[in-house]
Amino acid sequence: MTHHTESAARTDVSIDGRTIALLVTDGVELPELTEPIAAIRRAGGTPKIVSPKESSLQAMKGDWEHADHFDVDHQLGTVSAADFDALVLPGGTLNADALRIDEKAQEFVSGFFSESKPVAAICHGPWILTEIGQVSGRRMTSYAALRTDLTNAGAEWVDEEVVVDGGLVTSRTPNDLEAFNRTLLELVAEKA
């Protein structure tokens, strides 16, 4: 392991006792699920997968290559924002497209904004935010393909590694995960 990788793996941020939901379904982009989970654990937090799926879901590498299966901790509709300290919305086109039209998913995500809890969305993850009216007037980023959707919904879209607007963290692609994870953990630690 190189020195650079070791320093990237460590975190100065502690979120001991905090539980963070990751809202995902089939088609989630693999590193956008696994890397935030690892970062949350390293910082002392507890990651929980929330999904419309009952038992397990299929992650993807890109949109075509099947990756690992993941166990679901909580089925959507059995938990709410009150049960968690923050929310992560990973990308993956199929995942994000399915969740944005799921009424239980919309209700779940809306709860984090109502309770002013941190929300972090990467890649296609911000798509659902257009459906629940949480984009207008915000400075944010996403996978480039969502730029028009977010702009049309009233966002100021920027091409940056990580953008924070109030309690919302957004990033573009898996290449931004290190900054995305660090920024999320810092926000959660601040709220603690």
Task: Write out pLDDT tens, residues 83-142.
Answer: 999 999 999 999 999 999 999 999 999 999 999 999 999 999 999 999 999 999 999 999
CATH number of the domain residue 160 falls in: 3.40.50.880
The span from the CA of 83 to the CA of 21, in Å, is: 9
Going from the C-alpha of 36 to that of each of 2, 57, 149, the distances in angstroms are 21, 17, 25
| pLDDT score for 1 | 34
List the catalytic residues.
Answer: 123-124
The pLDDT score that the predictor gives to residue 11 is: 55
The average pLDDT across 66-78 equals: 95
**Residue 7: per-residue pLDDT:** 37
From the list 114, 89, 115, 120, the residue with the least C-alpha distance to 102 is 89
For residue 2, the model assigns a pLDDT of 33
Res 133: pLDDT: 97
Q: Which amino acid is at 47?
A: P
Q: Hey, what amino acid is at 103?
A: E
- Reported as a single tens digit per residue, the pLDDT across 1-49 is 333 333 344 458 999 999 999 999 999 999 999 999 999 999 999 999 9
| Enclosing domain of residue 119 | 3-191
State pTM to two decimals. Answer: 0.93
pLDDT at 161: 97
Domain count, the chain: 1
pLDDT at 82 over 50: yes
What's the pLDDT at 65? 86
